[in-house]
Chain A
């Protein structure tokens, strides 16, 4: 349904158009959300609008790790309980959440905000790579864990960073590769199987 041809109040069609821009939201969902919001009490809608504004105006990137923060430093960099000698390098702030949810990692992070991908126009200077090298040089870092995605762009970015960090004498590691939990061997591609056999672990 093209709303431009249907008589709908302008604020309504504008909200639908705005919501449609969001990932995972098509025209139908946008319409449903709009009419839902229309039925809500004004206080609820105000708090949603305020939350939307705050996320943009009160949030910035951590000066140390470039994760999302409210102040100069993010809660993780500020925390006294974290191991400051280990830095885990992530592509996106969302990936930090994936690792934080496990509760098994106690070190710090560094968010690159993307990966090297020349065909999509992204080069090392468009990422927070120089900042990472500077951080490792400045602080006493024992290990850097490269946690970029296990694909070509992620691997390229990891090898590039490794090249920069190698002369600094810091230990550099990469997340383990192989079969995903819940997957099936016969559906795995050749490379994944090779990685799984090369990265096998002793049980005794």
Chain B
């Protein structure tokens, strides 16, 4: 009873693993089918016609044949290669970071077209030369919205009162901010950091965020706060965060 079905989809290649003699398992994030694990046969051969179109961090148009366990990629054509992202180590690392977040926050075969659009936008912004740190913050907040973990940044989680312009407290477990009266032993969040977070969260599009000018110290506070929150949700550290930290040290050291 062969159930032979072929379908077209576009998708962003998140990651891949060598498999067998010359094949690769390719993990693709698609708008209509969510994260799909596929197999591309023979793509490790140097004359493969598909290999160049199936690199991680590529947006590609794919023809897939439904298989018993893994769908088989029969054709692939790159739509966006993001060449500037690829030619710069920090941008590539930031691209890995977006892909790792999507990989970790999604379940196989669960469509999330909104998240797909954000991922493509994020990669495009990195390719266009936008500040990688700012793009990461923007994407993190978009992703949290899209997967249902939008942090509460305007009202206290406990008493529900509007937050005052003073040092408040961020609770990863609560998914938002508590006022000083309810704060307990949570992570302090400065007035400036809360402002930046709110601004990025409610910005209708990235061009507003791009105009943001923030001191490095404050940006770092925002970064670490979101890192705490993401770590709590995923119960792990992301490998690409460690890679980005390493690159930052390397650039600072000379």
Contact = CB atoms under 8 A, between A and B. Distances in A.
B78 A156 contact: no
Contact of A121 (B83, B92, B239, B246): B239
Interface in B220-254: 238-240, 242-243, 246-247, 250, 254
A117 B46 contact: no
Interface residues of B, number: 35
A116 B243 contact: yes
Nearest to B14: A119
Interface residues of A, number: 31
A121 B242 CA distance: 10
A24 B47 contact: no
A182 B47 contact: yes
Interface of B: 14-15, 17, 20-21, 46-47, 49, 51-53, 55-57, 78, 81, 83, 86, 89, 92-93, 96-97, 99-100, 103, 238-240, 242-243, 246-247, 250, 254
Given A123-B243, A159-B92, A190-B52, 20 more contacts: A23-B20, A24-B21, A118-B93, A118-B238, A118-B240, A119-B14, A119-B103, A119-B239, A121-B239, A122-B239, A123-B242, A152-B57, A152-B92, A159-B89, A160-B247, A188-B49, A188-B52, A189-B51, A190-B81, A191-B78
19 contacts: A23-B20, A24-B21, A118-B239, A118-B242, A119-B14, A119-B56, A119-B239, A121-B239, A124-B246, A152-B55, A152-B86, A155-B86, A156-B92, A159-B89, A180-B47, A189-B52, A189-B78, A191-B81, A191-B83
